[in-house]
Copies of this chain bind each other. A is one copy, B any other.
Amino acid sequence: MKNFKFSAKTDIFFGKGEIKVLGNQLKKNGAKNILLTYGKNSIKKSGLYDNVIEILKEKNINFFELSGIDPNPRITSVRAGIKICKENNIDFILAVGAGSVIDCSKAIASGSLYDGDPWDFAIGKAHAKKALPVACILTLAATGSEMNSGAVITNDDTKEKLPIHAECAKPVFSILDPEYTFSVPKYQTAAGCVDIMSHVFEQYFSPSSNAYVTDMLCEGILKTIVKYGPVAYEQPENYIARANIMWAGTIGLNGLLSCGKMTDWASHLIEHEVSAIYDLTHGAGLAIITPAWMRHVLDNYNSYKFCEIGKNVFGLTGNDGIDLANRSIDKIEEFFKKLNMPVRLCEADIDNSRIEEMAEKINSRFGKIGGFKQLDKNDVLAILNSCL
């Protein structure tokens, strides 16, 4: 079991109607002049926007707005947000939306107290040391961004999609009302479930297997998605399913599931290259890449880990070994298919024309990737080719 630091500072207010705490929490955290960030029209259609505005007015909190933040949020939105913050002495950022809005807001929060260009954080030219406080109202269960320090930002000019780590921008509080996810379309619900499972896999698959307690928590999150993912897919307004998925998504990437472990993250890095070029939904990309990654890295030495998932999460039986491991991976792929996710690149209209470019970009930026099994450029090419 590796040494670790665990710090989960975000206060979570979870459940139906928890928006009621918003006004007092903003006040308590000193918000006077805020930037309200959101995506397209969904929060206006659902009435959440009006609800938030009403609370801000009632508490005499001044606000500016940055709307239209895309899934796969762009560095251009980050720059636009920073401009508003700097010109208007913004003291707090309230992100209302999915992980993309939250990620963008964290980058804005860090960039507003930094003199250079925020892309510097992504390319490692600078490290975010201070940030405006951020809070979230989450509307989609997927990224876990509501309780962590990560953000993934896309640069359309360079066709790059890169992670930023900003401990200073970890949300001070997040409101998680499962009812806000009732209106999430089937496709996004499914992609969110895949994203959550992928976060678990990236942490579960570790070269050391001593952090048993952490692995047991990982399996608990996987079982939750396997149980409730299809329920939420079929019954979008099933509160219990939405609630379990939402909280599973938060725990899935708040640091708890990597305590004492090395992590992998190769599938995420490969998927980022795919969606940086094709603007594919992240979870859909992961549904394609993850089983392919699993089949590529599986060997006699590590097969037991895949077997554990098969047995403990999917209820498979049999002796540990390559056969059971392969059946476990098949189960995972079948589960993604059951949620109508693509599991081949061609299903997302992606051919082999830019695969070499993707593999080379990973190679030039990161060299070898993956904590569970190190992958070089040829491995990445093989994985991408195997899921054409």
Contacts and interface: CB of A to CB of B under 8 A. Distances in A.
A1 B247 CA distance: 10
Interface in A231-271: 239-240, 243-244, 247-248, 251, 256, 259-260
A210 B256 CA distance: 22
Given A221-B213, A224-B213, A227-B212, A8 B5 contact: no
Q: Which of A11, A15, A212, A213 has the most CB of B within 10 A?
A: A213
Interface string A12-24: 1111111000000
B212 A216 contact: no
Contact of A212 (B7, B17, B224): B224
A239 B17 CA distance: 45
Contacts of A214: 247
This protein's copies in its complex = 2
Given A220-B217, A224-B216, A210 B240 contact: yes
Interface in A1-57: 1-9, 11-18
B12 A9 contact: no
Contact of A240 (B1, B6, B240): B1
A97 to B, nearest CB: 21
A302 B87 CA distance: 60
Nearest to A13: B5
Interface residues of A, number: 42
Contacts of A12: 4-7
A292 to B, nearest CB: 27
Contact of A14 (B14, B244, B259): B259
A228 interface: yes
A211 interface: yes
Contact of A3 (B9, B14, B213): B14
A160 interface: no
A279 interface: no
Nearest to A11: B7
Given A217-B217, A223-B216, A4 B15 contact: yes
Interface of A: 1-9, 11-18, 178, 210-214, 216-217, 219-221, 223-224, 227-228, 239-240, 243-244, 247-248, 251, 256, 259-260
12 contacts: A1-B244, A3-B15, A3-B17, A4-B14, A5-B11, A5-B14, A210-B244, A212-B240, A213-B221, A213-B244, A251-B256, A256-B256
| Nearest 8 A/B pairs, CB to CB | A3-B15, A216-B220, A6-B12, A1-B243, A213-B224, A8-B8, A7-B11, A213-B244
